[in-house]
Amino acid sequence: MLTATDIRVMIGAREVLHGISFTAQPGSVTAIVGPNGSGKSTLLKAMTGDIPFDGTVTLNGENTATMKPWELAAIRAVLPQASRLAFPFSVGEVVGMGLRQGLSGGQTDLVETALARVGLGGFAPRFYQELSGGEQQRAQLARVLVQVWTPCVDGTPRWLFLDEPVASLDIAHQLTVMDIARSYARQGGGVIAVMHDLNLTALYADSVAVIESGHLLAQGAPDAVLTNAVLSRAYGCQLQVNHAPPPHQIFVLPHGARA
């Protein structure tokens, strides 16, 4: 389990997160949603130790502040919202960096498998910097996947922290990536994903946390959290939560925006 307790983050003189407590269970996909600038990435960065924060984060029961980078790397991988690569590495080399020793022997297979998984089969010899934006993002996801390939090792769940994994992907690849996230969770791993697409969130998330202005507005099952009241308040616009016919898939539409 991942627990974040009373997370406060100061950026400059400004408090960006005002004491957020958040949990995520292995075996499920936990989505973090909220408007731009609400603090989703900041929360993720605090939980992955990228920025200084007050509060505690535990992963599988252990305080992450006391863990070494390589211990953490063995149980969790992180996909940042944006990544830039210095130097002209190949896609295969970039993905191979997820393997801690780098590309070697039999593990090269894993790189190929992961690339195929994200729809980039055969891309390994290409230059990473020559890929399109969406392809780069999927290559980064492949790098994240090879790092913690097996979702659960000897009963210890491993974790994926994904900041907007489907931003800039076409609809088919959005589904590919969310399917990967879901199957990772179904095999016992934990997935935490910052999301903007509420419909995709409703479709794939087992738990949803709504962040607004540095506060946690609500966390729980999609049915309980994705409601007119919560969403309209979080995003500051009228949103209508609808239910499709069985199996009652939730979908969200703007309300009266064009009236």
Ligand X SMILES: Nc1ncnc2c1ncn2[C@@H]1O[C@H](COP(=O)(O)OP(=O)(O)OP(=O)(O)O)[C@@H](O)[C@H]1O
Q: Which residues bind ligand X (CB under 6 A)?
A: 11-12, 16, 34, 36-42, 81
- Kind of pairing between the strands at 2-11 and 250-254: unpaired
Report residue 225 as tokens.
């959290």
By a kind-dependent CB cut-off of 5 to 8 A, residue 36 interacts, out of Mg ion, ligand X, other proteins, none, with: ligand X
By CB under 8 A, which span of 88-96, 168-176, 220-228, 237-245 interacts with other proteins?
88-96
Task: Give the residue closest to Mg ion by C-beta.
Answer: 41
In 181-225, DSSP assigns E strands to 190-194, 207-212, 215-220
Q: Is 133 in the site for other proteins (CB under 8 A)?
A: no
DSSP 104: -
CB of 169 to other proteins, least distance (A): 20
Specify the residue, 50 or 223, whose C-beta has the smaller distance to other proteins.
50
Site string for Mg ion, 80-119 (x = CB under 5 A): -x--------------------------------------
Q: How far apart are CA 238 and CA 254, in angstroms?
A: 6
Report residue 196 as tokens.
């903007």
CB of 162 to Mg ion, least distance (A): 11
Site for other proteins in 20-59 (CB under 8 A): 45, 48-50, 52
Q: Is 41 in the site for Mg ion (CB under 5 A)?
A: yes
CB of 36 to other proteins, least distance (A): 20
Q: Is residue 230 packed enough to be buried (19+ CB in 10 Å), middle (13-18) or exposed (0-12)?
A: buried
Q: How far apart are CA 153 and CA 222, in angstroms?
A: 28
By a kind-dependent CB cut-off of 5 to 8 A, residue 39 interacts, out of Mg ion, ligand X, other proteins, none, with: ligand X
Specify the residue, 115 or 211, whose C-beta has the smaller distance to Mg ion.
211
Q: How far apart are CA 188 and CA 184, in angstroms?
A: 7
Q: Is residue 129 packed enough to be buried (19+ CB in 10 Å), middle (13-18) or exposed (0-12)?
A: middle
Q: Is 124 in the site for other proteins (CB under 8 A)?
A: yes
CB of 203 to other proteins, least distance (A): 28
Q: How far apart are CA 133 and CA 144, in angstroms?
A: 17
CB of 174 to other proteins, least distance (A): 23
Q: How far apart are CA 218 and CA 224, in angstroms?
A: 9
Residue with tokens 């949103």: 239
